[in-house]
Structure 1
Amino acid sequence: MAKYIILDTETTGTDENDRVIQLGYMVLGAKDIEVHNEFCSSDVPINFAAMEVHGITPEMIQDKPACRDTSAYKRLLELNTPDNYMIIHNAPFDLKMLEKEGFDVQMKVIDTLRVAKHIFADEDAHRLQYFRYKMELYKEEQKEADALGIEVKAHDAIGDVLVLKLFLTKLREAVQEKFPGENPVEKMVDLTNTPILVKTFRFGKHKGKTLEEVAREDAGYLRWMLGNMENLDDDMRYSINYYLES
């Protein structure tokens, strides 16, 4: 039977050379819930910006095993089959970090950030902590944490996993409501891999305007973006082409 792995990492930073220093995840099966949460050592120093966010200091990981030597990582390898589901908020970041540890994901991936952008398109933000307060998940989390023996802290791997577990329930309900008759889990996998239609500019000279409006009034600018902005993400590129063609 399929298992659902809800995962988060904390890292030394966000650059190419940064590494995992905390691996936390829950495994949801038919009956039981496994909780894994381990700190890891790293040859890469923790940068101060990262330390400010997650509060992990060099002393906390001193003498800890490297990520791939932890029992949490070894168990994750055992779970890494196409029958199971990996659920992460902003999956590309964590998966890229795990790749540096030799982990090549074989599970079906649900990125709750991307799914939320599809389902809650008009929200001001799609960060996990935003939904924690917007959906009042914080009112439920302590009871859940006590049952699982987890301490809830923002920007802590296992604390964020617990919040994500609560958010996942709400997200699944919203997916089921929007796509009745479809399997909500498989639909979330599908939405993870579906381009997001960006409706409004959040930067540049057209900030605040809709892409549809700019396509009518300044299509040349959109074509310039396609040809000259190398860092244009796939969703924005898809959206520009969509509005130019329509």
Structure 2
Amino acid sequence: MLEAKNDLVLKIKGKEVKVAKDDHYYTDDGNTPVIKHAPLKRIAKEFGVYVSRVVPEFQPIPTQEGIPYVAHRAFGFDENGVEISALGEAGPFNVEGIAAQFPIIMSNKRAEDRLLIALLGLEGQVYSEVEIAENVTTSSNVFPFGKHKGKTLEEIKDQDRGYLEWFVAKYKAKNPRDAQLIESAKAVLSA
């Protein structure tokens, strides 16, 4: 994630809205703004946009990783009174860090934020912070955990090749970021 240096100006329902620099950041490519949960709810309230209810989509499904797969559906009404819904999900594939301890809350928040973004007409323009992994690294080539946290894969290869070989051969990916890191490590080892 990249820190915002300026306020963000969005056009919502024909009106310009400023999002303070402390209330958003950008994806790693620097192109897509990511709005924090509470400011998104405040903006929605300004426009009379609300989540009317959130319900579980199905019973939580146990997984081998110990983080249940859960999903919620949020409902609200557009300006024409038509009911709209959005699905939010959480499981070992898309929660990490502290969020892994609260997949039900993450699922609920994702459903709410996706619905609010849709009702505000911001789909494709912004992300909600609950869509972005908590421990995002700025490169798929930087090790995000363990004794080599913060080192590049090349540094680990030079300093502790055995660890990198173990990682590629034995580590079980817990999410898409980990899977990508394993593939990047294979490429570094074969170079």
Would you say same fold, with TM above 0.5?
Answer: no
Higher helix content, 1 or 2: 1
TM-score by length of 2: 0.37
TM-score by length of 1: 0.31
Higher strand content, 1 or 2: 2
